[in-house]
């Protein structure tokens, strides 16, 4: 018997088979859950429909993947259409994964103080408000004891140079989690965030995660980086009944990196690398 037998829900934010959202969705489906998926709409000039094709390739071997629909998270109409499709396929929804974030590369690549007004609005709308809009759109279809999960990062708690405007977005996202958890709590719905360490993903590459991998491996108490499989299992846990007493939380899965107040073993390595007098 699987952890998600009889459970149905939405997975929003898969880009390809290296996405955190896919790691979580795959764990859920292997545990018996049924999932509906969305993808970022392709440009009308993209004849190959790369976004749709990449997600469709992930779903090909899973009969538990019930549908795949485009979703522009800035469109209330498209959010409504996806929720109605989920209701038609599933009736009620037991879990909802929100794994969406975006900022203009120009804003990610420059100091936060140089962030443009339009770029800031765009990043906040896609990365933060979309959670509120999607949770609101899902409200009529959520089962009691349902669970909503979004993805965060340590850059929302502490300054991580290079993460820039996205760090501000993640701080706002984690605040939104707490307020949504309060609003939806009386209905029995839980809302949490999963704060993952750096992984090799499409979004991580845009935010410079590659530069962080070596540092995390040296600084984290576990002395290594996390894996997609670990994030998949932890995300699935937070969307399952096994976490039914947890809400309004940001859970870290980063090998313990967030607990460190000094460079730890990295400092020892730096000292060892210094030439002896």
The edge-to-edge listing of strands for the beta sheet with 190-196 is: 65-70, 34-39, 8-12, 93-98, 142-152, 190-196, 250-253
Which residues are the active-site residues? 153, 163
Alpha carbons 186 and 219: distance in angstroms, whole number? 40
What are φ and ψ of residue 38, in 5° steps? -125, 165
Ramachandran category for residue 164: left, alpha or beta (phi over 0 → left; psi -120 to 50 → alpha) = left
Q: Of 152, 174, 155, 51, whose CA–CA distance to 108 is shortest?
A: 155
Q: Enumerate the β-bridge partners of residue 70.
A: 39
41-57 burial: b if 16+ Cβ within 10 Å, else e: beeeeeeeeebbebbee
């Amino acid at each position: 018997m699987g952890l998600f037998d009889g459970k149905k829900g939405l997975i929003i934010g898969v880009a390809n088979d290296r996405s955190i959202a896919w790691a979580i969705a795959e764990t859920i489906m292997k545990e018996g859950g049924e999932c509906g998926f969305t993808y970022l709409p392709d440009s009308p000039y993209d004849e190959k429909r790369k976004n749709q094709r990449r997600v469709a390739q992930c779903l090909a071997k899973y009969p538990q993947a019930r549908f795949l629909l485009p979703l522009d998270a800035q469109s209330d109409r498209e959010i409504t259409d996806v929720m109605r499709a989920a209701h038609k396929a599933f009736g009620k929804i037991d879990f909802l994964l929100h794994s969406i974030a975006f900022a203009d590369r120009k804003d990610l690549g420059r100091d936060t103080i140089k962030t443009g007004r339009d770029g800031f609005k765009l990043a906040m709308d896609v990365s933060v408000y979309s959670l509120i809009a999607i949770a609101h759109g899902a409200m009529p279809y959520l089962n009691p004891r349902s669970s909503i999960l979004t993805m965060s990062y340590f850059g929302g708690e502490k300054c991580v140079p290079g993460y820039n405007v996205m760090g501000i977005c993640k701080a706002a996202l984690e605040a939104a989690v707490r307020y949504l958890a309060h609003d939806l709590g009386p209905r029995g719905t839980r809302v949490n965030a999963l704060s993952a360490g750096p992984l090799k993903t499409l979004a991580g590459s845009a935010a410079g995660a590659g530069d962080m991998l070596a540092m995390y491996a040296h600084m984290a108490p576990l002395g290594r980086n996390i894996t997609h499989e670990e994030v998949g299992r932890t995300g699935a846990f937070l969307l399952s009944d096994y976490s039914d007493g947890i809400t309004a939380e940001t859970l870290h899965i980063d090998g313990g990196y967030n607990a460190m107040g000094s460079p730890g073993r990295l400092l020892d390595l730096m000292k060892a690398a210094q030439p002896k007098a």
